[in-house]
């Protein structure tokens, strides 16, 4: 039986990132030995043929290396410090939304709707018929197309000639049959044009080869894991606060994002700032004078802006990187972080997209389906691209701050879901013997339970169930999970920080600001 080591495989993946024109200063490469990997399981946890497990362990390792560099900048270059990463803990990172609970209730629990604010204003999640729009469907030419309900299913349903609501189709399979009856009237190309014309998200399910043959695939595959450009070089070097226990104490991050990838960036950065995964949260209307005034007050002291909206949306409101460059000219430096589905540049950069769309367009869904023995694409377990892009965004931000500490100036850095998937695919699949063992252990070898009709939650819940069955101790490990009591939600259990910086801690014990609902805070001011 062939031996496999996730530690050795993760080290190789980490080293390979430096061969991809990674835009880091030379001293980052020199610190590559400052990260130490550990694990209690030699084989991967995530039930997918692609090396997702190793990709997250490697990215957490890269995060740790840059955190060590920042630590040395703050506490002295002679400081003896290292980063510790448990590979299993890192592999559970993209499963965070499935692992987190409120008063013991998981996200799919029926009582959860009483615990959190209802943001499903257009009934995308509460209405089964509208929810099933987000799925993979056959097309007239024998292809497959991934539709997405986005935040409002109505535009796409209407374009397909379907009613916005149909209470008679409140079962998954019934709703899927109705939608597929419509998609099969169109070729993949015609369907894609229709979706583009109404400015909604969707994509043909491409193979890896088809993606790489496209103009956008060629562009993305030629780019580094994250982009970095210097906006100006006259601002003085960043000075870190001498107070506070955290590596980046005093750094102020303004998060303009929603739905997984963007929030993951700032949540992870908070481990080095406040250790509050909830952050302070306010609602502002940037089209109103009152909202703009409040927002501009925050901008006065900001160090990092995270933009997770559709490309160009924030710039149209007057707060894009070029506009901020003029605003801050001669006053201060800053870092602007852009997270998107398709990335900067390339033919498809302005298209809207989500996790499932990135999976479909890059070949991840096809790779997953074929590994399951099917001749159809299947959504992967967990929001890998969302968390992958989010982690890349955290790394890119830490790297840009390292540039500010070293060279001064202001920086623009960007990450994308499609780039994470492109990189994941480039790592290749597991050896056949390893995958056979994994598939058998997870009950996938001869199972037809998963198919293209299995939506995001179906696949994720199946993976959680099998990981829990095979590794029940992970859920109970106090180093992996952390509890916050007396929050506005109730008692929240979620994943603890993965990268451990020793002998320093990434943060103090506990949260300065416990997690809180969207729009919870009323004061527009920094902590």
* Distance in angstroms (rounded) separating the CA atoms of residues 289 and 298: 15
Q: In this predicted model, which residue has the larger pLDDT, 55 or 484?
A: 55
pLDDT at 506: 54
Q: Where are the domains of the chain?
A: 6-119+209-502, 128-205
128-205 fold: formyl-coa transferase, domain 3 (3.30.1540)
> Would you state the structure tokens that stand for residue 123, as one six-digit string?
């009934």
* Distance in angstroms (rounded) separating the CA atoms of residues 490 and 499: 26
Does the pLDDT of residue 446 top 70, yes or no? no
The residues, ordered by sequence, that sit 6+ positions from 268 with a Cβ below 8 Å of its Cβ are 63, 390, 391, 394, 497
Other beta carbons within 10 angstroms of residue 38's beta carbon come to: 11
* Distance in angstroms (rounded) separating the CA atoms of residues 513 and 491: 14
* Distance in angstroms (rounded) separating the CA atoms of residues 422 and 209: 11
Residue 507: which pLDDT band, with cuts at 50, 70 and 90? very low
pLDDT at 512: 57
Judge contact between 274 and 305, C-beta under 8 A: no
Judge contact between 237 and 287, C-beta under 8 A: no
pLDDT single digits (tens) 352-361: 999 999 999 9
Using a 10 angstrom Cβ sphere, with 0-12 exposed, 13-18 middle and 19 or more buried, the burial of residue 198 is exposed
* Distance in angstroms (rounded) separating the CA atoms of residues 199 and 50: 31
> Would you state the structure tokens that stand for residue 461, as one six-digit string?
């819940």
The residues, ordered by sequence, that sit 6+ positions from 181 with a Cβ below 8 Å of its Cβ are none
The residues, ordered by sequence, that sit 6+ positions from 413 with a Cβ below 8 Å of its Cβ are 226, 227, 228, 229, 335, 336, 337, 338, 396, 397, 399, 400
Judge contact between 277 and 515, C-beta under 8 A: yes
pLDDT at 515: 77
* Distance in angstroms (rounded) separating the CA atoms of residues 37 and 87: 6
Does the pLDDT of residue 254 top 90, yes or no? yes
Q: In this predicted model, which residue has the larger pLDDT, 270 or 47?
A: 47
pLDDT single digits (tens) 257-306: 888 898 888 888 877 774 345 478 888 899 999 999 999 999 999 999 99
Helices (H), 430-483: 432-441, 456-470
* Distance in angstroms (rounded) separating the CA atoms of residues 51 and 365: 14
* Distance in angstroms (rounded) separating the CA atoms of residues 419 and 385: 9
> Would you state the structure tokens that stand for residue 403, as one six-digit string?
């540039």
pLDDT single digits (tens) 65-114: 999 999 999 888 888 999 999 999 999 999 998 888 889 998 888 888 88
Rg (CA), the chain: 22
Cα 175 versus chain centre, distance: 29
Choose among 257, 151, 143: nearest CA to 206.
Answer: 143
With a pLDDT cut of 70, the percent of the chain lying above it is 95
pLDDT single digits (tens) 338-347: 999 999 999 9
pLDDT at 438: 94
* Distance in angstroms (rounded) separating the CA atoms of residues 269 and 468: 28
Please tell me the class of the 6-119+209-502 domain: alpha beta
Residue 2: which pLDDT band, with cuts at 50, 70 and 90? low
Choose among 76, 25, 22, 18: nearest CA to 407.
Answer: 25
* Distance in angstroms (rounded) separating the CA atoms of residues 204 and 189: 8
Using a 10 angstrom Cβ sphere, with 0-12 exposed, 13-18 middle and 19 or more buried, the burial of residue 62 is buried
pLDDT single digits (tens) 381-416: 999 999 999 999 999 999 999 999 999 999 999 999
Section 117-138 average pLDDT: 91
Does the pLDDT of residue 162 top 90, yes or no? yes
Judge contact between 9 and 54, C-beta under 8 A: yes
Residue 136, strand partner residues = 146
The strand order across the sheet containing 410-416 reads: 227-232, 410-416, 335-340, 304-307, 253-256
> Would you state the structure tokens that stand for residue 509, as one six-digit string?
């014990």
pLDDT at 275: 38
Mean pLDDT estimate for the chain: 91
Residue 482, strand partner residues = 494
Judge contact between 72 and 79, C-beta under 8 A: yes
Other beta carbons within 10 angstroms of residue 437's beta carbon come to: 17
Residue 5: which pLDDT band, with cuts at 50, 70 and 90? very high
Judge contact between 315 and 323, C-beta under 8 A: yes
Judge contact between 37 and 10, C-beta under 8 A: yes
3-state helix, strand, coil in the chain (%, to 5): 40, 10, 45
Q: In this predicted model, which residue has the larger pLDDT, 240 or 27?
A: 27
pLDDT at 263: 86
Does the pLDDT of residue 517 top 50, yes or no? yes
* Distance in angstroms (rounded) separating the CA atoms of residues 334 and 403: 11
Query: Tell me, what DSSP letter sits at residue 379?
Result: P
Judge contact between 390 and 260, C-beta under 8 A: yes
Go through 316-351 and write b for each residue having 16 or more CB atoms within 10 A of its CB, e for each that does not.
ebebbbeebbeebeeeebbbbbbbbbbbbebebbeb
pLDDT at 181: 98
Least confident of 20-24, 160-164, 443-447, 496-500: 443-447
Using a 10 angstrom Cβ sphere, with 0-12 exposed, 13-18 middle and 19 or more buried, the burial of residue 503 is exposed
Judge contact between 305 and 413, C-beta under 8 A: no
Looking at mean pLDDT, say which of 123-127, 249-253, 301-305, 494-498 comes out highest: 301-305
The residues, ordered by sequence, that sit 6+ positions from 224 with a Cβ below 8 Å of its Cβ are 20, 21, 22, 23
Does the pLDDT of residue 519 top 80, yes or no? no
Judge contact between 12 and 37, C-beta under 8 A: no
pLDDT single digits (tens) 203-238: 999 999 999 999 999 999 999 999 999 999 999 999
């Amino acid at each position: 039986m062939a031996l496999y080591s996730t530690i050795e495989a993760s080290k190789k993946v980490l080293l390979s990132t430096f061969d991809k024109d990674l835009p880091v200063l030379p001293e980052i490469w020199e610190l590559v030995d400052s990260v130490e990997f550990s694990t209690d399981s030699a084989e991967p946890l995530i039930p997918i043929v692609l090396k997702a497990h190793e990709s997250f362990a490697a990215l957490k390792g890269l995060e740790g290396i840059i955190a060590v560099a920042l630590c040395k900048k703050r506490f002295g270059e002679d400081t003896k410090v290292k980063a510790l990463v448990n590979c299993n803990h890192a592999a559970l990172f993209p499963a965070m939304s499935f692992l987190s609970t409120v008063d013991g209730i998981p996200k799919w629990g029926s009582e959860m709707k009483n615990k959190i604010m209802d943001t499903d204003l257009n009934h995308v999640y509460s209405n089964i018929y509208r929810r099933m729009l987000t799925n993979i469907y056959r097309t007239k030419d024998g292809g497959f197309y991934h539709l997405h309900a986005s935040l409002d299913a109505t535009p796409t349903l209407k374009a397909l000639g379907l009613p916005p609501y149909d209470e008679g189709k409140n079962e998954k399979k019934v709703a899927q049959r109705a939608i597929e009856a419509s998609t099969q009237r169109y070729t993949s190309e015609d369907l894609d044009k229709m979706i583009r014309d109404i400015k909604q998200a969707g994509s043909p399910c491409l193979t890896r080869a088809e993606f790489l043959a496209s103009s956008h695939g060629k562009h993305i595959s030629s780019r580094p894991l994250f982009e970095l450009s210097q906006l100006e070089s006259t601002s003085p070097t960043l000075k870190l606060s001498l107070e506070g226990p955290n590596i980046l104490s005093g750094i102020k991050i303004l998060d303009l994002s929603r739905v997984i990838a963007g929030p993951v960036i700032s949540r992870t950065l908070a481990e080095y700032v406040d250790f509050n995964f909830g952050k302070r949260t306010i609602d502002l209307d940037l089209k109103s004078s009152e909202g703009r005034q409040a927002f501009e007050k925050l901008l006065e002291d900001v160090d990092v802006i995270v933009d997770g909206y559709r490309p160009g949306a924030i710039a149209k409101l007057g707060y894009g990187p070029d506009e901020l460059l003029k605003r801050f000219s001669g006053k201060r430096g800053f870092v602007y972080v852009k997270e998107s589905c398709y990335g900067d540049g390339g033919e498809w950069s302005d298209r809207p997209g989500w996790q499932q769309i990135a999976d479909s367009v890059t070949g991840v869904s096809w790779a997953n389906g074929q590994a399951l023995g099917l001749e159809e694409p299947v959504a992967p377990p967990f929001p890998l691209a969302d968390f992958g892009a989010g982690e890349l965004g955290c790394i890119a931000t830490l790297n840009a701050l390292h540039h500010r500490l070293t060279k001064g100036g202001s920086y623009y850095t960007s990450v994308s879901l499609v780039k994470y998937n492109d990189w994941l695919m480039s790592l290749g699949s597991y050896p056949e013997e390893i995958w056979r063992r994994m598939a058998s252990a997870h009950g996938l070898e001869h199972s037809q339970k998963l198919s293209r009709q299995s939506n995001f939650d179906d696949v994720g819940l199946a993976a959680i169930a099998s990981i829990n069955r095979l590794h029940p101790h992970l859920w109970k490990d106090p180093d992996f999970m952390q509890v916050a009591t007396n929050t506005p939600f109730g008692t929240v259990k979620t994943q603890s920080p993965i990268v451990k910086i020793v002998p320093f801690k990434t943060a103090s014990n506990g949260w300065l600001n416990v997690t809180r609902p969207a729009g919870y805070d009323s004061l527009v001011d920094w902590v």
